[in-house]
Amino acid sequence: MAVGRHPPRIGGSAWPPVGAGVWFTKRPFVWRRAEVQAEEKVHSARRAELARAAARLFSQRGYHGTSMQHLGDALGIQRGSLYAHIGSKEDLLFDVVDEGAERFLERAEKTLATPALASVKLRRLLVGHIETAIEHLDAATVFLNEWRYLSDEPRTLIQKKRDRYESILKEIIREGIAVGEFRADADISFAARLVLSAGNWTFAWYRPGGELGPTEIGERFARLVLKGLEER
């Protein structure tokens, strides 16, 4: 038999007997692997759909005000079917909160790593913070307001990311003080927490369709903060 050609039919079947060649023994594994990958893709897509629905409902009703029945109704599926994709409602809360944390943190890490003046970095960070909060309003609302309802272990994981974000903000302010861009008497911890408190509260008052878009709101916010920090 020529190399690379399919084996001839044996006993009227296109399938050779076990042991008749590598071609036969490898095909079922490849098929099964493809099936598993397809199943994982469907599961991942469904989980992402669940997370989007959860973000919307948790932001509107609160975590404790949202039941599994609410989630099932929003997706048009039976409540019991949800458990094929998640172990508990808290799993969804963690998915939404962790994704929100990563969105904020990824932009902050990139800003910190980019060579620039501290004032430029701070402006980028603050504009990015407001843009992220507004462009992903449901998820940001849950991340900023509902994360406290996570149990100890997942809440600790999220707290580490929140702490890292705050430390990036402090580091940028510290850089500005060191080179004389920002006031030498600026209280770094106080300034960072004040900035975060103001920026994080965006979800409470922002309404889509206003005259200012996310970037313009972010730019105005950044100008106010920088004016308070810059050396005179």
pLDDT per residue over 170-207, tens digit each? 999 999 999 999 999 999 999 999 999 999 998 888 88
The position carrying tokens 């019991």 is 80
> 22-84, which class in CATH?
mainly alpha
Q: What does R_g of the chain's alpha carbons equal in angstroms?
A: 26
Helical pair 188-200 and 214-229, crossing angle rounded to 10 deg: 160
pLDDT per residue over 46-97, tens digit each? 888 899 999 999 999 999 999 999 999 998 888 888 887 888 999 999 999 9
Distant-in-sequence, close-in-space partners of 131: CB < 8 Å, separation ≥ 6: 214, 215, 218
For residue 63, the SS3 value is coil
Mean pLDDT (whole number) for 133-157: 95
Superfamily name with CATH number, domain 89-229: Tetracycline Repressor, domain 2 (1.10.357.10)
The yes-or-no verdict on residue 4 having pLDDT over 70 is no
Domain locations in the chain as residue ranges: 22-84, 89-229
CA distance 118 to 123: 9
Pair 138, 195: CB distance under 8 Å: no
For residue 170, the tally of other CB atoms under 10 A from its CB is 16
CA distance 182 to 1: 80
- Report pTM: 0.78
Pair 167, 108: CB distance under 8 Å: no
CA distance 170 to 161: 14
Start-to-end C-alpha separation, the chain: 87
